[in-house]
Amino acid sequence: MLTKDQALATAEAALAAARAAGAEEADVILIGEASQSVTIRMGALEDATRSETGELGLRVFVGRRSAQVSTSDLSHGQLAAAAERAVTMARVAPEDPYAGLAPADLLAPTPVPELDLFDPLAEDVDPGQLRAMAEAAEGAALAVAGVTSSEGATAAVGKAILAFATSHGFAGVQKSSSFSISAVAIAGKEQARQQDLDWSEARHLADLDDPQAIGASAGARAVARLDPVRLPTGRMSVLFDRRVAASLLGHLASALSGPAWARGTSFLRGREGERLFRPRIHVVDDPLLPRGRRSRPFDGEGLPTRRTLLVEDGVLGAPLCDSASARQLGRAPTGHASRGVGSAPGVATSNLWLEAGTCTVAELMADIRLGFLVTELIGMGVNGLTGDYSRGAAGFAIRDGAIAEPVTEMTVAGNLLDMFKALVPADDLLFRRAANSPTVRIDEMMVAGA
Residues 326-349 pLDDT 10s: 999 999 999 999 999 988 899 999
Give residue 376's pLDDT.
Answer: 96
d(CA 218, CA 151): 11
105 phi, psi to nearest 5 deg: -75, -5
Tell whether the model's pLDDT for residue 108 goes beyond 80: yes
- How many residues in total does the chain contain? 450
User: Residues of the chain with pLDDT > 70: what percent?
Assistant: 100
Q: Residue 434 — pLDDT band, cuts 50, 70, 90? A: very high
CA distances, 299 to each of 118, 218, 263, 283, 326 (Å): 18, 36, 22, 20, 14
Q: What is the largest CA-CA distance in the chain?
A: 73
d(CA 133, CA 139): 10
Q: Report the mean per-residue pLDDT for the chain.
A: 96
Task: Tell me if residue 285 falls in helix, strand or coil.
Answer: strand
- Where are the chain's structural domains? 4-224, 228-450
With vertex at residue 263, the alpha carbon angle to CA 262 and CA 267, rounded to the nearest 5 degrees, is 90
Residues 221-248 pLDDT 10s: 999 999 999 999 999 999 999 999 999 9
Residues 348-358 pLDDT 10s: 999 999 999 99
401 phi, psi to nearest 5 deg: 80, 10
Strands 440-448 and 234-240: antiparallel
Tell whether the model's pLDDT for residue 23 goes beyond 90: yes
Q: What is the DSSP letter of 102?
A: P
For the chain, the helix, strand and coil percentages under 3-state DSSP, each to the nearest 5: 25, 40, 35
Q: Residue 190 — pLDDT band, cuts 50, 70, 90? A: confident
H or E element in which residue 56 lies:
strand 44-62
Give residue 380's pLDDT.
Answer: 83
CB atoms closer than 10 angstroms to residue 243: 19
Residues 250-285 pLDDT 10s: 999 999 999 999 999 999 999 999 999 999 999 999
Mean pLDDT of 141-155: 97
d(CA 209, CA 203): 12
d(CA 97, CA 109): 27
d(CA 276, CA 315): 6
Name residue 164's beta-bridge partners. 29, 172
Tell whether the model's pLDDT for residue 200 goes beyond 90: yes
Tell whether the model's pLDDT for residue 409 goes beyond 80: yes
Which of 172, 170, 147, 175 has its CA nearest to residue 160? 175
Mean pLDDT of 180-187: 98
CATH of domain 4-224: 3.30.2290.10
Tell whether the model's pLDDT for residue 450 goes beyond 80: no
Residues 43-96 pLDDT 10s: 999 999 999 999 999 999 999 999 999 999 999 999 999 999 999 999 999 999
Tell whether the model's pLDDT for residue 206 goes beyond 80: yes
Residues sharing a CB contact under 8 Å with residue 126, sequence separation 6 or more, in sequence order: none
Give residue 1's pLDDT.
Answer: 84
pTM: 0.94
Name residue 176's beta-bridge partners. 160
d(CA 311, CA 328): 23
